[in-house]
Amino acid sequence: MGQIIVPEMNKISSEGFDAYDVSLSEEVLVMTSVFSFLGDSPMHAEVTSTPVPSAALNPCRFCVLSAPSLLEKSPNKHRHWPQMIEDSKKIWNLAKEKKSEKKSDELSIKCGVRDQLNRHFASEIYQSKRLKKKLKKNKETIPDHLKSGIPQHIVDLEKNDPTDLFNPYSELEGVKVPLDITPFSEVEKLILVVVIPGFDGTIHTPVEILHVFLLGMVKYLFRDFMNSLKPTEKDELIGLWRSFETDALNIPSLKPVGLVKYYSSLIGKDFKVIVQAAPFLFFQFMDGPRKNIWHALCHLAPLVFQTHITDMDEFLSELKIRIDTFLYHIIKSSAQWINKPKFHMLLHLPESIRLYGPATLFATEKFESYNGIMRNASVHSNRHSPGHDIAITFSSYHSFRQILSGSTFYDSKKKTLTKASTQVTDVFTLNPNIQTTFGYNYSTLNPTASYPSIRKENVSKADILAVPEDLRSHYLYHHIHKSLR
């Protein structure tokens, strides 16, 4: 996919594109570069040509995670994106010259670079070498395409477009905007070129709190805590969950039995509830060291999910102290967490926050809202090309949103800017059924402040009462529900 996207992104950064600005009521030129790449650890590893952290000797894409001597203890040296690109080329040259998978892997481990696309081409060379060796051993005729040692299509690709052999994201460019500042200077002609740096895989892949924090340390520690409980203690914990008041935490209703019985199959939003409830429910079942770990974790969580930062320097100083305190108790308690890369990635969270602002701004959790669209597209697919069907569905929804929201677009036939009439937009605006079809729910986005109101909690069968006949007859065409409050 990167080979298709990268040229388009480079075109946007070098040439730009026209867009209609509603506030100015005219077309403007838009130019931008790639400022960040959001994803989980495996996706970040693929984009930055680094090993997948869970099974690697070089698990960090930010720094060189190694300490050969006491003089080279952490903080480790930061990686450099140009050097990583150069290392990928060195590994490729070694693969062509030696045609040895073992030596290439050794250099890859030493450099901490693992270009998945380039490894695919290198594997073809190794496979060609093994096949050629097998034919020689059996004294069979060697085909022409095996005589050169390197498959011909790879030779042609390297000759015509060598960049296609490597990670396409390493080719992302910055923005160069020439500005004429002659009127503001005494020089006859003065052009100022504003340069916005391009994508840097060691910087522009921020630490993602959904996968690193919630699905990382919170999940690890919660599972470890649940595994330490006895059956009677789990029953007691269910009772504590049932008595836990959630109104002040702005979270939905809880499912106490599910949180205890299916603790190994929880998702991100569940762990967000767990880290808020831990001080009130879990501490009575913990010993001193485990309580210290959770105490530090619960102090760290509000800083991780902070949405507004008044003083960045003061905030980052406090965050670093909380991270160090948490890791101190983790290491002091047990060595089982040392090999978990996500605990190390937490050390780089302050750098990402300084660059991008509050961590919630670059959390992939906001993309969870697209899951419903993807499921809908997958269900209504012929299964022959599901990715293609999903892409078309997303494109169609974007087009509908553009038209029904009253946005301005370019009419290629009339060669003018136009927008849909109110008769078209009213189909969506005045029709709740159409709104629901497109996934828009007014009552969810604008909750009522009056009571009683319908909530998601199910009323137990014992509490369900028949609707009074007078009330039913007075509201013949209404559905009457019983609410919890």
Number of domains into which the chain is organized: 4
Average pLDDT of the residues in 221-225? 93
Contact call for residues 349 and 359 (beta carbons, < 8 A)? yes
State pLDDT tens for residues 409-424.
888 888 888 888 888 8
What range defines the domain where residue 420 resides? 379-445
Average pLDDT, the chain: 82
Question: Cα-flanking dihedrals φ and ψ of residue 176, to 5°?
Answer: -120, 115
The pLDDT of residue 354: 92
Residues 409, 329, single domain; the answer is no
Q: What is the DSSP letter of 442?
A: H
Greatest mean pLDDT among 182-186, 267-271, 462-466 lies in: 267-271
CA distance linking residue 67 with residue 87, whole number of Å: 20
> For residues 324 and 276, is the Cβ–Cβ distance under 8 A?
no
Residue 99 predicted with pLDDT over 50: yes
Residue 184, pLDDT > 70, answer: no
pLDDT for position 190: 65
Token pair 């767990």: residue: 274
Q: 93 with 119, same domain?
A: yes
Task: Look at residues 96, 39, 63, 49 and name the one whose alpha carbon lies nearest to residue 345.
Answer: 63
Residues 345, 281, single domain; the answer is yes
Share of the chain above pLDDT 90, in %: 18
Token couple for 290: 């485990």
For 332-390, what is each residue's pLDDT tens digit? 887 778 778 888 889 999 999 999 999 988 888 777 777 777 887 788 777 788 888 88
Mean pLDDT to the nearest integer, 199-222: 89
Is 90 exceeded by the pLDDT of residue 455? no
Point out the domain boundary residue: 334, 362, 390.
362
Residues 350 and 236 occupy one common structural domain: yes
| Better-predicted residue by pLDDT, 484 or 355 | 355
Q: Is residue 410 part of a domain?
A: yes
| Residue 73 confidence (pLDDT) above 50 | no
Q: What pLDDT score does 52 carry?
A: 77
Q: Is the pLDDT of residue 311 over 80?
A: yes
CB atoms near residue 78 (< 10 Å): 14
pLDDT value for 69:
45
pLDDT at 222 over 80: yes
- pTM for this entry: 0.74
Mean pLDDT of the 247-253 span: 71
Helix (H) or strand (E) holding 406: none
pLDDT reading at 56 higher than 80: no
Q: Are residues 63 and 155 in the same domain?
A: yes
Q: What was the pLDDT predicted at 67?
A: 47
17 domain-assigned: yes
Q: Quick one: 91 and 179 in the same domain? A: no
Tell whether 216 and 356 lie within a shared domain: yes
Rounded CA gap, 74 and 347, in Å? 11
What pLDDT digit, counting tens, does each position of 108-147 carry?
A: 888 888 888 888 888 888 888 888 888 888 878 777 777 7
> Cα–Cα distances in Å, from 95 out to 25, 46, 88, 101, 247?
56, 20, 11, 7, 61
Q: Are residues 117 and 255 in the same domain?
A: no
Single-letter amino acid, residue 232: T
Is residue 465 one of the residues assigned to a domain?
A: no
Please check whether residues 280 and 428 belong to one and the same domain: no
Residue 481 backbone phi and psi in degrees, to 5: -115, 155
* Residue 64 banded pLDDT, cuts 50, 70, 90: confident
Residue 470 lies in a domain: no
Percentage above 70 pLDDT, the chain = 87
**Residues 137, 105 share a domain:** yes
**3-state class of 143 per DSSP?**
coil
| 422 and 385 both lie in a single domain | yes
pLDDT score of 49 more than 90: no
Residue 42 resides in a domain: no
Residue 471 lies in a domain: no
Residue 201 placed within a domain = no
Do 348 and 431 have their domain in common?
no
Q: What is the pLDDT of residue 177?
A: 66
Residue 284 has pLDDT above 80, yes or no: yes
Q: Is residue 123 part of a domain?
A: yes
